[in-house]
């Protein structure tokens, strides 16, 4: 019998890439999603890539009854990777209740049902946003966490605290939180990738949409930061390297005993690239000239953020293998496949 793993938010951007990685490593994958920010066609696309069609259930995980029967049905699962969440930073400022209700209720329902059904391994999608404006770079897991500026970001910080409290008393559940830095890129097949609805908030999908003619011009937010070229620096990580990090975390949960209740890992490359670095890589790999101009800094943005991921490298035996050029190339191939 195959190891079964539940992937919530499994038709979403990171969930779908992680599903591919798990299927290709011999796991039986069950995807659960309410399709609020993804499309059912992803299930067939995962099948095209892997040759295996994952089971899919359309459920709103804030629905206590439906979530409970879903977990009862899949009580033989070895673990849960919890991607399901609303994630638009700006929207969360306008709709704080919706964001707290959705993201925290999903987490509470999933944890409770895991305990009841003795499903032991839990992985939580956290974010570098929990560090706020860092005092020191690169950021280690020991760095102080700060209250994120947006309600979305705060659902990650509060989410981590909920897990920490819960695993102390849980008899069955162990957890790992992965603090992602900036995931970009797409699967090399061009069949799955990031598909933002409406105007993208994030840099990479904005760039590809401008190049594809969907948007007119990219605004580069800020050119007066104290960085090598004046634009802000982030730690961009290829979504497939991120998917592999989930595999490594899952293995860690399987391999460690019950006393190892909760661990946190930064998941980044450790390399900081500026907005202009990303643009220049994109222009090179896509052979497109990007239309962009400079604008004011975006409110809430920090000048520089990049990870010290040595803990993940040491403990999870994980590292990245894909470059910024791989990220921008695959993002462009994905955008082109949407035409």
Angstrom distance (rounded) from CA 87 to CA 74? 26
Q: Retrieve residue 228's tokens.
A: 């090598």
8 Å CB contact between 11 and 193: no
Confirm if 266 and 319 have CB atoms less than 8 A apart: no
Q: What's the min distance (Å) between Cβ of 115 and ligand NAD?
A: 19
99, 131, 152, 262: the catalytic one is 152
Q: Give whichever of 234 and 252 is closer to ligand UDP, judged by the CB atom.
A: 234
- Asked if 219 touches ligand UDP (CB under 6 A), the answer is yes
CB 238 within 8 A of CB 213: no
Residue with tokens 């938010």: 9
Residue 81 vs 211, nearer CB to ligand NAD: 81
Q: Cβ of residue 35: shortest distance to ligand NAD, in angstroms?
A: 5
Cis omega before residue 138 (within 30°)? yes
The interface mask with ligand NAD, positions 95-124, x = CB under 6 A, is -------x---x------------------
x/- map, 247-286, ligand UDP, by CB under 6 A: ----------------------------x-----------
Instruction: Provide, rounded to whole angstroms, the least separation between the CB of residue 26 and ligand UDP.
Output: 33
| Choice from 7, 30, 31, 38 touching ligand NAD (CB under 6 A) | 38
* Residue 13 touching ligand NAD (CB under 6 A): yes
Q: Does 100 bind ligand UDP (CB under 6 A)?
A: no
Contact assessment for residue 150 and residue 89, using Cβ atoms and an 8 Å cutoff: yes
**CB neighbours of 309 closer than 8 A, spacing ≥ 6?**
265, 266, 267, 268, 269, 270, 318, 319
Q: In the complex, what is the shortest distance from the CB of residue 30 to ligand NAD, in angstroms, rounded to a whole number? A: 13
Contact with ligand NAD (CB under 6 A): which of 4, 11, 120, 170?
A: 11
CA distance 154 to 25: 33
Exposed (0-12), middle (13-18) or buried (19+): which is 230, by Cβ within 10 Å?
middle
- Tell me how far apart the alpha carbons of residues 269 and 10 are, in angstroms, rounded to a whole number: 24
Examine the residue annotation and report whether 306 is marked as an active-site residue of this protein: no
Among 29, 107, 218, 249, binds ligand UDP (CB under 6 A): 218
Tell me the residue nearest to ligand UDP as measured from the CB: 232
**Site for ligand NAD (CB under 6 A): which residue of 21, 33, 115, 160?**
33
Q: Please list, in sequence order, all residues whose beta carbon lies within 8 angstroms of the beta carbon of residue 242, skipping any fewer than 6 positions away.
A: 14, 17, 18, 180, 183, 267
- Closest by CA to 167, choosing from 260, 77, 246, is 260
Residue 86 binds which entry of ligand NAD, ligand UDP, none, with Cβ cut-offs from 5 to 8 Å by kind? ligand NAD
CB 312 within 8 A of CB 248: yes
301 binds, among ligand UDP, ligand NAD, none (CB under 5 to 8 A by kind): ligand UDP
Tell me: does residue 151 bind ligand NAD (CB under 6 A).
Answer: no
- Point out which residues bind ligand UDP (CB under 6 A): 182, 201-203, 206, 218-221, 232, 234, 275, 298, 301
**Catalytic residue annotation:** 152
- Point out which residues bind ligand NAD (CB under 6 A): 9, 11-15, 33-38, 60-62, 83-87, 102, 106, 125, 127, 180, 183
């Amino acid at each position: 019998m195959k190891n079964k793993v539940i992937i919530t938010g499994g038709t979403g951007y990171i969930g779908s890439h992680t599903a591919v990685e798990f299927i290709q490593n011999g796991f039986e994958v069950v995807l659960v999603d309410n399709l609020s920010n993804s499309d059912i066609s992803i299930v067939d696309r995962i099948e095209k890539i892997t040759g295996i069609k994952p089971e899919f259930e359309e459920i709103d995980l804030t629905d206590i009854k439906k979530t409970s029967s879903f977990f009862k049905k899949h009580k033989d699962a070895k673990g849960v990777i919890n991607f399901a969440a609303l994630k638009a930073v700006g929207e969360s400022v306008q709709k704080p209740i919706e964001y707290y209700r959705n993201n925290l209720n999903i987490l509470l329902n999933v944890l409770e049902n895991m305990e009841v059904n003795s499903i032991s391994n839990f992985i939580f999608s956290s974010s570098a946003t929990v560090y706020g404006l860092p005092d020191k770079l690169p950021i280690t897991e020991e760095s102080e966490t700060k209250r994120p500026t947006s309600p979305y970001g705060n659902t990650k910080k509060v989410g981590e605290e909920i897990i920490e409290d819960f695993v102390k008393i849980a008899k069955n559940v162990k957890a790992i939180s992965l603090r992602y830095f900036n995931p970009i890129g797409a699967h090399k097949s061009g069949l799955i990738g990031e598909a933002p609805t409406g105007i993208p908030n994030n840099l990479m999908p904005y760039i590809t949409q401008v190049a594809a003619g969907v948007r007119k011009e990219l605004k580069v937010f800020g050119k007066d930061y104290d960085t090598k070229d004046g634009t802000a620096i982030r730690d961009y990580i290829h979504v497939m390297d991120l998917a592999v990090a989930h595999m490594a975390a899952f293995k860690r949960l399987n391999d460690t005993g019950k006393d190892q209740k909760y661990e946190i890992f930064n998941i980044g490359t450790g390399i900081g690239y500026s907005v202009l670095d990303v643009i220049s890589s994109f222009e090179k790999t896509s052979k497109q000239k990007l239309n962009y101009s400079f604008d004011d800094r975006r409110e809430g943005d920090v000048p520089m953020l990049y990870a010290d991921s040595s803990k993940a490298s040491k403990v999870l035996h994980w590292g990245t293998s894909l470059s910024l050029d791989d990220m921008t190339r695959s993002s462009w191939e994905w955008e082109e496949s949407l035409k």
